[in-house]
Structure 1
């Protein structure tokens, strides 16, 4: 019984030892990670993602480095601008491990070192920039900080990808002064916009009045032209009608009895007009010889016949 118990315990011990050896020798490296292996306390190799075997009690995983991009919050710090204004700035830095060996043995804590380096670099860059430029050229400041950090962090096996200023805190007095300046600028722009609007309105009114005068003058011109054309056409039509009437009278005179009809018509007109003349005047006008009526009619008839012969 004692031999059986001793053998059982020995078997269990061997099984446990085998399990420990397997656990010590088998390593699974996750994706986007590196394991730094030391053999007897000295750097041996760097394992990429996948399944690996180690020599038990000889090889060990000294460091585990993540190759994914990391975000580091850079704490707020006091910086003095070139025009001697103190501002509080905090930012965000994005870094990535590109060499696991350097990141493990180049520096004790690359995250803390990168954060401190970002603060000192930011102080240096802000010290060379005026307060107004810190707001206007924020992208340029970020680029300068990234360039300085990337050069300094190269021996640590990390790469600084980006740096962004997340907040700039100003003293209360500077805030008040900036608000007053902004308020004055807005009022100036509003006054300019109002004056430009009034100016444009006056221009529009004057242009409208000018166009109205032009339109009225054009209308008056067209009216006069139309009236002149109408009068000319009227005269032309009257002349044509008169000529047509005279031509028809001339043709009628050529007909048998035409001359006698014309003489009778002339006599009638003479008597009618003489009667009207007597009515419209207070003085009664009587021809010296009534026989002259016939002579006048005969004379007019002779004129018509002479005109007919010429035609």
Structure 2
């Protein structure tokens, strides 16, 4: 009898269980769910009941890389990270054999659909947009899996190696094209500036020559004007003196033939006389 009582006491004392903070306990009786217990001390009937603990804390999860085909048939590799939390321990544990794996498959399917409607260049430059659309598509999974996704993020989108090589070639070609255009524009600018400088130099040279010609013409006009003014102011005796001087030079020269108008023939006698006068004047000077 005492042994029986001891055995009963041992069985009764082994039925106490502790559910930790941020956990819920699912109690099954003979394999069937009976109730949910919160954190703290709880009791189950040994041999008849079983306690399953489910964490309610935020859980990080990394979804490994997998391939997706874009709208323009380009293959890219993506990987994701997310944080989820169990909001309904009963649905999480009993409605699915593996709620986390089911959630991962659902997220992958939505991501394939989102990226599959984008072309490669759009997808590679729209990570934040993809994250937003993916979060909206996932929504609240509590009703299905008992899980709520707190945050989901596409960590990387990498095109295949073949596409990367093609993109590198295109990038190199674009850079070479840009450099060639810049060089051509620089040369064209240089030619433009050089031509402009030469034209300006030619214009300035022509202007300088025109100014010089103008100054020379003005000087000649000034000389002629002054000479004309001097001649206008000279008297009749001045011209007679100039005529006598000219006849003197002519008489002394070897070519002393003078052609004159008949009306001036009477003046020829003055030539020898003038010659003698000049000779006498020269002797006196000597």
Into which bin does the TM-score normalised by the smaller protein fall? 0.5 to 0.7
Distance 1:119 1:55 in 2: 43
Change (3 A) 1:152 1:68: closer
Trace 1:119-158 onto structure 2 (pairs within 5 A): 119-152=108-141, 154-158=143-147
Structure 1 counterpart of 2:98 = 109
Picking from 26, 49, 54, the partner of 2:44 is 54
Structure 1 stretches lacking a partner, 5+ long = 1-9, 199-311
TM-score w.r.t. length of structure 2: 0.57
Within 5 A, what are the aligned runs for 1:39-118? Answer: 39-61=29-51, 63-118=52-107
Number of the residue aligned with 1:244: none
State TM-score, norm by structure 1: 0.53
Name the CA shift for 1:52/1:153 in 2 (closer, same or farther; >3 Å): closer
Shift of 1:180: 3.0
Q: How far apart are residue 103 of structure 1 and its match? A: 0.9
C-alpha separation in 1, matches of 2:78 and 2:121? 14
Aligned equivalents of 1:104 and 1:28: distance in 2? 19
**CA gap 1:35/1:152 in 2 versus in 1, 3 angstroms:** closer
Question: Post-superposition shift, 1:118?
Answer: 1.6
Alpha-carbon distance change, 18 to 171 in structure 1, aligned in 2, over 3 angstroms:
same
1:32 corresponds to: 22
Report the secondary structure of 1:45's partner residue: strand
Q: State yes or no: 1:19 paired with 2:19.
A: no
Where does 1:1-311 land on structure 2 (aligned, <5 Å)?
11=2, 14-24=5-15, 26-61=16-51, 63-152=52-141, 154-186=143-175
- Indicate the RMSD between aligned Cα atoms, in angstroms: 3.2
- What is the DSSP-based 3-state SS (H/G/I as helix, E as strand, rest coil) of the residue aligned with 2:139? helix
- The answer as to whether partners of 2:12 and 2:46 remain within 8 angstroms in 1 is yes
Kept after mapping to 2: 8 A contact 1:80/1:126: yes
In structure 2, list runs of 5 or more residues that go unmatched: 188-286
What is the CA–CA distance in structure 2 between the aligned matches of 1:91 and 1:166, rounded to whole Å? 5
Q: Which residue of 1 aligns with 2:219?
A: none
2:96 partner SS:
coil
